[in-house]
Amino acid sequence: MSTLVVVGVQWGDEGKGKIVHLLGHQADWVVRYQGGNNAGHTVIFDNKHFVLHLIPSGILQPGTQCLIGNGVVVDPEALHEEVRFLEKRNVHVRGRLHVSDAAHVILAYHRYLDCLREDRAGGGKIGTTRRGIGPAYSDKVGRNGIRIADYLNPSVFRPLLERNLREKAPLLKRFGSLSKIRRDVLKSYPALKRFLQPLVTDGPHLVYRAMEKRKKILFESAQGTMLDVDFGTYPYVTSSNPVAGGVCIGSGLAPNRLDEVLGVVKAYTTRVGEGPFPTELKDSLGEALRRRGMEYGATTGRPRRCGWFDAVAVRSAVRINGCQWLALTKLDVLEGTHPLRIAVAYRVGNKRLKEFPNDRQMQAEAEPVYEEMPGFHGSIRGMKRYAQLPANARAYVRRLEQLVGAPFAMISLGRSREETIILDSKFPWKP
């Protein structure tokens, strides 16, 4: 029996999809515990390119069962589409995908409200994915939410829907009359209800039973620690808790059953959407990283903002998640960049900060204090052993480990599973 959390320790898009795919064949279960179809996990499998939004990446491992936990917000239309996308590519989903009956649903009005808030926010917009994530989580904590179990029971669902529509009507006018919005919500309801019914389960009980049977469970986060609603750059965050602590809340796993935490971290930094990003490169180097790293959002296609590695943010994330291990991704993208810079502290006014500040004004004003290292040259893609890496690349990797306070268990040098160096560590989930 063992449990592992794979968690992003930057602003998302660290390459978690590949790492989960790499480790997933050992897992009996892969569980998503937060977020929704705002995520975009890219996996290359069987020479095919898959982008998964809501379904755990473990679905691409034929022997693995997958659970969408209670902490996820589920858009039934998006889930239906994703299942059809996978089935068309001969991925067998039925009987392997399970959805917690306590997960909340995203309905058409959540998507409308997300767009409305963004369009009205002017300079204060978050840059959300406009998938209705924030409004669905707002309803959840505001106790107006509709859970999967409610959605499947028309006599519970209909009055809840009417209450929500009445409450939100004044805001929704721009999108049409109340009856038009009701039609938008209900248009595929019978078909979606039929589709969802066989997938639905008691999530926490299922996790408990898997633990009792000594199964291996991998918990897959979406987004990253710096987008966590509590620990990220609030309010420029998503509305859930990607951190490892979110696993227990979002799946029902008992806290004392969490064994390993693997943080996934890119060799530089990216962020999509608005908000503080102290090491952002707004020059041609940022542009070059975007081009070489193909840094475009997997969900919205937006160009990602790119910048230097921020050891202040990652160190804080490693501590919050309790990462015993890290997976370093996209080291190859830094080939030929000289010198390499790493932020080791921030300067705010005349103060030097060694820890990531919670204060939003300080986050916005933080100027990175950089340490410089020589770059490395030549192609490192295809290298299989750590010792093959150029000395300067190894020095960069070792310096990152020192600065963030956790060892690397693997280094990814490309999208396919073969393009990975496995380091000699005691990490128990060896790929």
**What does the binding site for ligand IMP look like in residue numbers (CB under 6 A)?**
12-13, 38-40, 126-129, 131, 133-134, 222-223, 227, 238-239, 272-273
Q: Is 41 a catalytic residue?
A: yes
Cβ-based nearer residue to ligand IMP, 118 or 332: 118
Least distance from ligand IMP to the Cβ atom of residue 132, Å: 8
Helix ranges (H only) for 173-310 are: 178-186, 189-196, 203-212, 246-251, 284-292
Least distance from ligand IMP to the Cβ atom of residue 387, Å: 33
Q: Which residue is nearest to ligand IMP (CB)?
A: 273
Least distance from ligand IMP to the Cβ atom of residue 110, Å: 10
Exposure string over 349-361, b if 16+ CB within 10 A, otherwise e: eeeeeeebbeeee
Cβ-based nearer residue to ligand IMP, 38 or 70: 38
Least distance from ligand IMP to the Cβ atom of residue 43, Å: 14
Q: Tell me which residue has tokens 């073969």.
A: 418
Cβ-based nearer residue to ligand IMP, 70 or 324: 70
Q: Is 13 a catalytic residue?
A: yes
Cβ-based nearer residue to ligand IMP, 11 or 427: 11
Other residues' Cβ atoms within 10 Å of the Cβ of residue 308: 21
Residue type, 138: S
Does the N-terminal peptide bond of residue 242 adopt cis geometry, omega within 30 degrees of 0? no
Cβ-based nearer residue to ligand IMP, 13 or 77: 13
| Cα-Cα-Cα-Cα dihedral sign, residues 185, 186, 192, 193 | positive
Q: Which entry of 21, 25, 28, 41 is annotated as an active-site residue? A: 41
Stretch (H or E) spanning 399: helix 391-404
Least distance from ligand IMP to the Cβ atom of residue 95, Å: 27
Question: Which one-letter DSSP state was computed for residue 304?
Answer: P
Strands lying side by side in the sheet with 2-8: 200-201, 97-100, 65-68, 29-32, 216-220, 2-8, 260-266, 325-329, 408-412, 420-422
Cβ-based nearer residue to ligand IMP, 61 or 128: 128
- C-alpha 165/C-alpha 149 separation (Å) is 19
Estimate to the nearest angstrom the gap between the alpha carbon of 343 and the chain centroid.
23
CB 414 within 8 A of CB 332: yes
Reading the block at residue 44, the tokens are 């290359």
Least distance from ligand IMP to the Cβ atom of residue 266, Å: 12
Reading the block at residue 175, the tokens are 């999108």
Angle CA 309–335–262, to nearest 5: 45
Residues assigned a catalytic role: 13, 41
